[in-house]
Amino acid sequence: MVRIIVDAKCTGCETCVNICPVSVYEIKNGKSVPVKVEDCLICRTCESQCPEGAIQVMEDNNIAAKVETPPPIETVKTKTKLRKTKKPSINQVKSKKKL
């Protein structure tokens, strides 16, 4: 997600309006206003070209994403039966060793 801050130093020169490749800004009441923040490419051209240094573009990981996360997958525990086996007798073990 993106956060764009235009501070009080903005003079409304329209540099950001003219240079933004996705038209994020409009001039309202003589100041630049980011009106389409969701379209921002985070190229920071507006930030670097603003003659007053009035624009800050920040990636904000604290803003909730619009994508919904799927519900957690439930895991099912199953019991497996253990097969009981007889231990071989001593005679069976001795007979196998002889072969």
Structural domains for the chain? 2-59 (3.30.70.20)
pLDDT at 22: 96
Helix (H) or strand (E) holding 17: helix 15-19
Residues 55-82, mean pLDDT to the nearest whole number: 64
In eight-state DSSP terms, residue 37 is: G
Name the more confident of 66 and 5: 5
CA distance 52 to 69: 40
Contact 11/53 with Cβ under 8 angstroms?
no
Contact 19/46 with Cβ under 8 angstroms?
yes
Q: Which of 28-37, 41-50, 57-66 has the lowest mean pLDDT?
A: 57-66
In eight-state DSSP terms, residue 98 is: H
pLDDT at 67: 47
pLDDT at 65: 46
In eight-state DSSP terms, residue 6 is: E
pLDDT at 36: 95
